Homo-oligomer: A and B are copies of this chain.
Amino acid sequence: MVENNKIQAYLPAGASEIENDLGTAPGIFYEGNKKIIAAFPGVPSEMKQMFDKLIMPRLEKISGGDFLVVRKVRCIGAGESAIAEMIGNMMARDRNPLINCTVDCGVITLHIIARAKDKHTAETMAAKDIEKLRGILGRLVYGFDEQTLAKVVGQKLLERKKTLATAESCTGGLIAKMITDVPGSSKYFTYGWVTYSNESKMSELGVKEELIERFGAVSGEVAQAMAAGAREKSGADFAIAVTGIAGPDGGSGKKPVGLVYISIVSPDGIKTEEFLFGHRNRDFIRLRTSQNALNLLRLNLGD
């Protein structure tokens, strides 16, 4: 039906419309008998925005009793079970705050769920737990809540007024993509190379041919030369370089799929590490390589 020049959808009796700022399909909201029924359009970006804007506040209002605060502690550098062991009985199932753990491609996220009669008390309880966890986990903790490694690294570069360049082989641009996912990254990220062929490693980053011949393109020596070349050519303060075998082909007995070298060059020198992400698929190897490269840079940037 048309009303005030606006086309309206039909709604079930007793229900009201949830406005959709990003599309034309409205949502449906019904409240009765202390229950909410809400229906949204299927496009995730529209649904999420509508949920946050209209449903969350109403849920908070009708929940009445306890207040829940959820905070997240993001870790990288140790496995789920190692971290669980370090935390010990803080993860007991009947504890308040309750601490849950999820894992996504090398990043361990601890969810601290604090329940109290008011918001301030719940927030204080969660904050105390976060301090405890920081004390226990130290530098394994890279950030909080929705922080990504790229955001944390970017923030550190901004604070120190430093710049960054990248030279990627097996990750094929993924590290640069993750860095530039962050708004404002042009303030510290200047140059990136995807040197996928041996020729490009030589012509763009000045890697010497004999180095590739002697050690192979996938070697700590070549990673180091790529990082040094990227820093020199860009004039950046820091450079990340990676070379490895993302698979599924290209592996050998000596250099299997999942073998990766990451090199970080900083004003203090060069650090190169070897990783072996064996028996996993191409996407996994590329993502883990990128996460580890950003994490090595984070550790290099200090606290």
A interface residues with partner B (beta carbon < 8 Å) = 22, 43, 45, 103, 166, 168, 171-177, 179-181, 183-186, 189-197, 199-200, 203-204, 233-234, 247-250, 279, 281-284, 286
Contacts and interface: CB of A to CB of B under 8 A. Distances in A.
A98 B282 CA distance: 34
B194 A193 contact: yes
B180 A177 contact: no
25 contacts: A22-B279, A43-B103, A45-B281, A166-B173, A168-B173, A172-B177, A172-B185, A172-B192, A173-B174, A173-B175, A173-B177, A173-B180, A176-B194, A181-B282, A181-B286, A183-B247, A190-B196, A190-B199, A191-B195, A191-B196, A191-B197, A192-B194, A192-B195, A192-B196, A203-B233
Contacts of A186: 196-197, 250
Contacts of A171: 177, 180
A286 B177 CA distance: 10
A29 B189 CA distance: 50
Given A181-B283, A191-B204, A192-B194, 7 more contacts: A45-B284, A173-B174, A173-B176, A180-B194, A181-B282, A183-B249, A204-B233
A272 to B, nearest CB: 22
A180 B172 contact: yes
Contacts of A166: 173, 194
Given A174-B177, A177-B172, A248 B183 contact: yes
